[in-house]
Amino acid sequence: MDRISKNNLIQDYKIQFINRFNELPSIVSIAPGRVNIIGEHTDYNKGLAIPAAVNKWILTLASLRKDRIINVFSLNYKKTLRFSYDQSNLNGELWEKYVKASIYLIKEKYNVKKGFNILIGGNIPIGFGLSSSAALEVSIVSSIVKLFALNIDNYEILKICNLIENKILGIKSGFLDQYASIFSKKNQFLLIDFKNLNHEYFKSNIKNGCWILVNSMVERKLIFSDYNQRVLECSDAINFLNQKIKQKLNFNSINIEIIKEIKHNKIFYNRLLHIITENQRVFKMKKAILSGDLNLIGNLLNQSHDSLANNYNVSCNEIDFIIDISKKENGFLGGRIMGGGFGGCTINLIDKKYKKEFISNIK
């Protein structure tokens, strides 16, 4: 992958903005992609996760116009969208829908009246589980907030981005991706608690290990996957359990003993089992990263993969194959499917000594 710095990207895009719109942008808004170390499919169940930003970004550069026209140029898709402020047509290719929905929601909610020019681009690989679409939403929404000096904090930006997915695009996703894009800090891990919608930062004490992503090249579009079905299965499963035991438990008050009551319903039982154990792994992972315990981190990644593949059924043959061959490599400490599932990347912890060997063999 190309390694371009944030500043170089900003400089390059400024020139592109001038070439396209004959003026300097008045604001630049930048949002990173993310990896998720652990805590998968826990966000929409009010659980926990440990993501971290990556050094790949989506940038939105913008300037105000005097009329009510909105001009959007996408560097990645080499395409211009031009529409009037009063238009609320959200059709188009998926990326266009993201762009239009982001603009639409914020202008409706905050009664923004003027037009603007924006240029969007970035170097996050699209559709492989690094949350390029969340970064796209965050960077567009933040750019409009900056451009119109709207009095909105980061949590409001987070909620707007989540609405874009839930209400407009029909993806019932949680807050993980946008939260990580908005709140991540350099060289820190983020432990997010989705029940209270708050987070803490912590630093890694990992000495001789490195994180490596392996891209399965199976493109993952949540909207076309069974993602929404998993979301529904979880809420159905907890209702089913509550009916059975005549209680009103939520995802934070269930445990492995109690869900045995619905063991006969394999799907519901397995979904809840994943949620309970994955949240437990998040706490263990924080401790393991803080103490730099490479073997424990690796084991937790492997356990998470088993649970995602067998209890939650969000892996796929290609990813399972990559995990299987990775396990045979020297220096492989552990790995798992990352993100929404059904393709995308695996995230792996590798003993530093074997980094090159691992990369060339897996390639």
Nearer to ligand GLA, 241 or 338 (CB): 338
Q: Is 210 helix (H, G, I), strand (E, B) or coil?
A: strand
Check binding of 41 to ligand GLA (CB under 6 A).
yes
Nearer to ligand GLA, 38 or 145 (CB): 38
Q: Which helix (H) or strand (E) holds 269?
A: helix 266-291
- Other beta carbons within 10 angstroms of residue 253's beta carbon come to 10
Active site annotation includes 177: yes
Q: How far is the CB of 338 from ligand GLA (least distance, A)?
A: 8
Q: Please tell me the distance from the alpha carbon of residue 283 to that of residue 8, in angstroms, as a whole number.
A: 37
Check binding of 176 to ligand GLA (CB under 6 A).
yes
Within residues 332-361, the interface with ligand GLA by CB under 6 A covers 339-340
Provide the residue type at 113 as one letter. K
Sign of CA dihedral 297, 298, 304, 307: negative
Of the residues 86, 153, 177, 306, only one is catalytic, namely 177
Beta pairing, strands 189-193 & 48-64: antiparallel
Check binding of 137 to ligand GLA (CB under 6 A).
no
Check binding of 44 to ligand GLA (CB under 6 A).
yes
Query: Measured in Å, how far apart are the chain's first and last C-alpha atoms?
Result: 13
Nearer to ligand GLA, 107 or 199 (CB): 199
Check binding of 51 to ligand GLA (CB under 6 A).
no
Check binding of 47 to ligand GLA (CB under 6 A).
no
- Applying CB under 6 A, among 13, 17, 138, 177 the residue interacting with ligand GLA is 177
Check binding of 132 to ligand GLA (CB under 6 A).
no
- Per the CB < 8 A criterion, the answer to whether 135 and 122 are in contact is yes
Q: Tell which residue, 37, 38, 47, 60, has the closest CA to residue 157.
A: 60
Q: How far is the CB of 173 from ligand GLA (least distance, A)?
A: 4
Q: How far is the CB of 248 from ligand GLA (least distance, A)?
A: 24
Residues in Cβ contact with 321 at an 8 Å cutoff, skipping those fewer than 6 apart: none
Nearer to ligand GLA, 173 or 303 (CB): 173
Q: Please tell me the distance from the alpha carbon of residue 122 to that of residue 108, in angstroms, as a whole number.
A: 26
Q: Which residue has the tokens 């989705």?
A: 194
Q: How far is the CB of 179 from ligand GLA (least distance, A)?
A: 9
Check binding of 173 to ligand GLA (CB under 6 A).
yes
Q: How far is the CB of 324 from ligand GLA (least distance, A)?
A: 22
- Per the CB < 8 A criterion, the answer to whether 121 and 95 are in contact is no
Closest residue (Cβ) to ligand GLA?
A: 340
Provide the residue type at 20 as one letter. R
Q: How far is the CB of 359 from ligand GLA (least distance, A)?
A: 25
- Other beta carbons within 10 angstroms of residue 349's beta carbon come to 24
Residues annotated as catalytic are 177
Binding site for ligand GLA (CB under 6 A): 40-41, 43-44, 173-174, 176-177, 339-340
